């Protein structure tokens, strides 16, 4: 970009600037200040325009200005030209106007330069930003792609979990509905069982053919010599037991104690049950005296199993063969109660004190005053008949029955297990289960057996003890079946000798 300068003629002549033409050329020359596309080509266009300016002669001006490629050179040439014109003391009246015009042009050129520089800087900055953005895109593209894939995978997992949750909720709702239905069925079954039981009781009470013989108070007093203390042979929760004689037959008379809790109810219950059933291993009820609350049984010469195990009245010890036979008799009588028709009977108070022996060591179960009729539909170990309160003797009561009130035939199996452990050890029921378990683990069961018997068959006695421990499992469902497991095993052991 530069100015075209024409050397002055050899002879001095006044400067004849063509002012109008110069002004028109400068004014009419367009300067594109805002279009960024023309910024780079602007200096060339400006040089081309200035080269077309008309020359003028002046003796005082001789500016050997050469072409330059920058706006700074153009501005410097204009300054030099202005200074030369000032030093020439031109007499031409238009020099001042030309100076003003040159100043204006200089200002425009300087402003154009600044705009050009700013545009260049902005272009460089934008290019740098574009380069940085492209670099960032290249670096972040894999991460973005990986993040997108992770997001897609996460969304898929969420959908799977939602489906699983929906399935689980539907299954839970279905299970809840089934549980509710089962509960309703159980309640209906219990109500029907209670109604059947009440109906059965009403039938038993109203049926005159099953009532036992009634004795008068006078007959009871004569038989017991007015309840002489010398004839007293036992004492229970129901009341004292006296030995007597009725119609030349030895009998045991159990008398209701006035302060006995629910004594009248137990009296009526025992009359209802024993007057309806007959079995060799169940004590025989001969009659009753409702006026005095007395029950008349057949007399058992050897008394209760508890007295014989503890050798009260200095009776001889029971041999182990007879003990195994007694265990079999107890299980047989208990099975008879459980198979009673139309409803099974649960004894609820099976213990050595309620097991009687005759002179031939024939075992009979007595004291069924707490026995309870259980509907056959709820007599197994799966569904239990619910009682409002547990009855029986501590240490012999089924723990599950005691805690929940759920009564079943396997409630008697627990009591039977405790009795079996007492038969071989001769010990009280408290803690006997733990003692036998420890002895079996250590292999020292022989030291725990009843020492009044010296010739225990160890192998079969160990099998006997293991069977008894199965009977005393805490949960009913873990206890063996009386008919299919317990009684066959006891018979096997008893028949071996």
> Where in the sequence numbering do the catalytic residues fall?
349
| Bond before 342 cis per omega within 30 degrees | yes
Whether 223 contacts 251, CB under 8 Å: yes
| 252 bridge partner residues | 243, 297
Residue whose structure tokens are 């225990």: 456
Distance from CA of residue 417 to its chain's centroid?
35
Alpha-helical (H) ranges within 36-94 are 42-51, 71-87
CA distance linking residue 423 with residue 318, whole number of Å: 9
CA distance linking residue 389 with residue 373, whole number of Å: 15
**Length of the chain as a residue count:** 497
Tell me how many helices (H) and strands (E) the chain has.
13, 12
CA distance linking residue 287 with residue 214, whole number of Å: 6
Q: Per the structure block, which two tokens stand in for 358?
A: 């005759």
């Amino acid at each position: 970009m530069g100015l075209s300068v024409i050397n002055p003629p050899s002879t001095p002549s006044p400067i004849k600037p063509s002012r109008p033409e110069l002004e028109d050329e400068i004014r009419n020359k367009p300067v594109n200040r805002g279009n960024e596309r023309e910024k780079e080509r602007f200096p060339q266009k400006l040089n081309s325009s200035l080269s077309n300016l008309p020359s003028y002669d002046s003796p005082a001006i001789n500016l050997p200005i050469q072409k330059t490629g920058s706006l700074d050179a153009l501005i410097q040439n204009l300054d030099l030209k202005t200074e030369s014109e000032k030093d020439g003391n031109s007499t031409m009246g238009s020099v001042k106007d030309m100076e003003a015009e040159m100043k204006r042009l200089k200002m425009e050129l300087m402003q154009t330069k600044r705009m050009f520089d700013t545009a260049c800087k902005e272009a460089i900055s934008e290019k740098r930003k574009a380069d940085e953005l492209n670099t960032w895109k290249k670096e972040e593209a894999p991460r973005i792609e990986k993040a997108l894939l992770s997001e897609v995978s996460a969304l898929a997992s969420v959908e799977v979990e939602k489906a699983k949750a929906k399935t689980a909720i539907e299954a839970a709702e279905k299970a809840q509905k089934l549980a509710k239905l089962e509960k309703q069925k159980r309640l209906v079954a219990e109500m029907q069982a209670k109604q059947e039981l009440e109906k059965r009781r009403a039938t038993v009470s109203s049926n005159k053919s099953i009532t036992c013989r009634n004795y008068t108070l006078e007959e009871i007093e004569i038989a017991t010599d007015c309840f002489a203390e010398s004839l007293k042979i036992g004492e229970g929760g129901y009341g004292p037991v006296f030995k007597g004689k009725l119609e030349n037959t030895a009998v045991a008379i159990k008398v209701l104690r006035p302060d006995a809790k629910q004594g009248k109810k137990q009296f009526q219950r025992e009359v209802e049950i024993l007057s309806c059933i007959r079995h060799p291993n169940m004590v025989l009820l001969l009659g009753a005296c409702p006026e005095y609350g007395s029950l008349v049984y057949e007399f058992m010469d050897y008394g209760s199993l508890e007295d014989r195990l503890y050798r009260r009245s200095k009776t001889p010890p029971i041999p182990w063969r007879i003990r195994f036979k007694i265990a079999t008799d107890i299980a047989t009588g208990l099975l008879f109660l459980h198979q009673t028709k139309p409803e099974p009977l649960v004894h609820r108070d099976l213990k050595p004190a309620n097991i009687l022996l005759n002179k031939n060591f024939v075992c009979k179960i007595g004291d069924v005053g707490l026995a309870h009729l259980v509907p056959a539909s709820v007599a197994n170990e799966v569904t239990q008949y619910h009682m409002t309160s547990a009855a029986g003797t501590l240490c012999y009561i089924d723990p599950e029955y005691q805690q929940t009130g759920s009564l079943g035939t396997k409630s008697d199996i627990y009591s039977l297990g405790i009795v079996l452990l007492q038969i071989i050890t001769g010990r009280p029921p408290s803690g006997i289960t733990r003692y036998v378990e420890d002895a079996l683990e250590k292999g020292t069961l022989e030291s725990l057996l009843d020492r009044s018997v010296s010739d225990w068959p160890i192998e079969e006695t160990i099998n006997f003890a293991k069977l008894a421990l199965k009977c005393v499992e805490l949960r009913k469902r873990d206890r063996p079946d009386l008919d299919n497991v317990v009684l066959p095993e006891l018979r096997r052991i008893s028949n071996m000798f």
